[in-house]
Amino acid sequence: MDDLLTSPLHDRHLALGATLGAFGGWSMPLSYPGGTVAEHTAVREAVGVFDVSHLGKLAITGPGAADLVNRVFTADLGRIAPGQAQYTLCCTPGGGVVDDVIVYLVGPDEVLAVPNAANAAAVAEILRAEAPDGVTVTDRHRDLAVLAVQGPRVADVLPDVPELDYMAFADVDGIRVCRTGYTGERGYELLVPAGDAGPVWDRLVAAGAHPAGLAARDTLRTEMGYPLHGQDLSVDITPVQAGSGWAVGWDKAAFRGKDALVAEKAAGPVRRLRGLRATGRGVPRAGMDVLVDGTRVGVTTSGTFSPTLRCGIALALIDTAAGVGLEDTVAVDVRGRALECTVVKPPFVASHVR
């Protein structure tokens, strides 16, 4: 992994004995010696801290910066005010999802976009191609670290953070603090100057935040039914199919992919993302066939063991023509063995983000 980029916290992860993995061209911690289940449980019951510095950071600045973002991305940026963040999508003209993005609205002339690591360059290219004169898109990927502090005891380790509404942010002592996250627990994401990331991490861990890796982040987000780009959303999986239509400003005059998405919504998608909860012993994984009476009706897009529920769970794209409804029973082909599952509507466990 010598050719991978490393986080400003790489030395901390090595010192903690982290198992590292490649994510979007970065070497990032998968887990620490205590294991993924312990990290997951710490976030659900106390407080954990994740290094997610591999996430992209794009500064869009200049007269009309917010208008550019609103014209390109799906959500209606006019529905939030400066000091708020928004989940949105960058789509292809055909309605597929190039990436899902969090945008921070600083003002009409400044927006910070946080795409996924693997797609940051593609999102930047799309924005630059659409940008009017005077609006610049600057890659700040290496300038900022991102720490996600998540869990019901988050106030114990961040006692001086101002009270913020969900998806609101404030700049505190040079750190952008936003009440967002990818776990379903109350928490914050901290955008920290890269040179300050080490001392900030050390303070959080000393105050009781449990270091957690990206494997626990995946089990936590799957329990919430939060999509992962490249699996549950992609250039081949539209927001209409993935149940992410709530992140689309349908009444906006224009955004990339609008015509295709409006047409798909009107016609009805040929497949929909559903939750599956295993009733038998076994763990579904991504890419497994979903069966009804032996006939393939879909495919899992994400799957894992839920440490909270102590059973297998999955997200799956199921053909609408199959007529499969909530609480119906399907089977997942787990290496040739039929694992019975109940179709459910995520989240699989209660959310506490607000």
Residue 337, C-beta contacts closer than 8 angstroms, at least 6 positions apart = 282
Strand partners, 137: 60
Could you give the CA distance from residue 330 to residue 238 in angstroms, rounded to a whole number?
23
Could you give the CA distance from residue 98 to residue 295 in angstroms, rounded to a whole number?
31
Could you give the CA distance from residue 308 to residue 170 in angstroms, rounded to a whole number?
32
Residue among 41, 47, 42 nearest 308 (CA): 41
Residue 95, C-beta contacts closer than 8 angstroms, at least 6 positions apart = 238, 239, 240, 257, 260, 261, 264
Distances (CA, A) of 343 to 199, 310, 330, 346: 45, 17, 7, 10
Residue ranges at the known binding site for substrate: 189
Residue ranges at the known binding site: 189
Other CB atoms closer than 10 Å to residue 199's CB: what's the count? 10
Could you give the CA distance from residue 296 to residue 346 in angstroms, rounded to a whole number?
22
